[in-house]
Structure 1
Amino acid sequence: MPQPTPPPPTAPATKPHSHPESLTFTKKNQNMTKLPKYAKITKRPIPHPAPSTPYTGSNVPKTIYVSTTTPKMSVVTRVRKLLRQAEKRATAGLHSTKGGRQQHGGRTQAERVAQVQEALRREEVHVKATGRAIAKAVAVGEYLRDAAGGGEFRVTVTTGSVLVVDDVEVDEAAKKRVVEGAERMRREVESGSAVKGEKREGEGEGKGEGGLGEEEEGEDEEEELPESRTRWVNMVDVVVGLK
């Protein structure tokens, strides 16, 4: 009697957002201000509020900002401390029996346990990063998600973008070279056109071989540049809470 063919092995289910490459971002930088070569961009630091401490109250969002140089395990340790302190605050009066139900507002032990669990669900730590640091924040989330066999922390990942400001600085020496080069090119084109004497009537006066383009370039070089410009950068928010 022929043996039944066993079913093909199934691939293990993949966990969402297991790698930064799997994240999806919305492209927002549609019309960036084009700058000439002599303009230098200086990125301003993204402003952040004061860092959270283990004693930050439950009504204040707890956020850790990650850079490319931040050690992963340092962030993991900080997340654990913030959540353990939140757990202590939530359970501080849970085991106190002095005063009975009257002291606890008439609530039973089971009701107080439910209240503590609800308070813990609201206590979350946000690990945020932008740009190249996104991979570091995702790695922190993966580590905590898999800690204790996945039974200790719940982790969710959301993506977004944040508006940043870049300062525009002009290199005057480089600008002078560009403007002089454009002027020299224009004179060469005009002199070449005069020697040839081959101008067609009605085809745009002053247009030699690229003459108008160079004039336009020269005019653009003289335009006033903005002191700064804004752009959107990708951002990730890894939210960690106790299960």
Structure 2
Amino acid sequence: MTAKVGVITFPGTLDDVDAARAARLAGAESVNLWHADADLKGVDAVIVPGGFSYGDYLRCGAIAKFAPVMGEVIAAAQRGMPVLGICNGFQVLCEAGLLPGALTRNAGLHFVCRDIWLEVASTSTAWSSRYEAGADILVPLKSGEGRYQASEAVLDELEGEGRVVFRYRDNPNGSQRDIAGISSANGRVVGLMPHPEHATEALTGPSDDGLGIFYSALDAVLTA
């Protein structure tokens, strides 16, 4: 069985091609999903990629959550389908209510574009099981609104339930508690601000550390 990973394209999406390529490098079949179609085409997992969906008007991800495809993603996530949101995709998942909190303007109000080290804080999700707890991975970050914020109660809940998946080693954007990525309560939905799809080959990225995320999803699908 070859797992099918759907990658959504919104107007303004930039990283859908890279996300699809990362899925293929891990051994999956990538399936293009169009924002205006309420059809997931029988995929086993979904990636909501980075970019500037609908031009980031209103708020980042605020319009994308109303796209026909997102209604299907929300329903599938509630049934347990693995869903990954990267950068703008993380923002979309928060706006859609699949993940708590919000991504706001970076501390200092500057766009951050550089390779960063992340700590793998949880290996119990559908998108992080291939890593060792506490491992360091090197991936690119490129965002102007990547500062994760939530209420203290939500932050405590995320910490207490082991739902902080990735942390910044050197927090570049002021995210609360150094949070770079979080998961849903069942560990099937993950959002992170840095870009693992740009770290899949040592030749073109800073590392191939990001591949573990996509291998993890295949494991989750094929062993379900």
Identify whether the pair has TM-score above 0.5, normalized to the shorter chain: no
Instruction: Place the TM-score, normalised by the shorter chain, in its bin.
Output: under 0.3
Higher relative contact order (CA 8 A, sep 6+): 1
The structure with more helix, counted as a fraction of residues: 1
Give the number of the structure whose residues are more often strand, by fraction. Answer: 2
Give TM-score scaled by structure 1 length.
0.25
Larger Cα Rg: Structure 1 or Structure 2?
1
Q: TM-score, normalised by structure 2?
A: 0.26
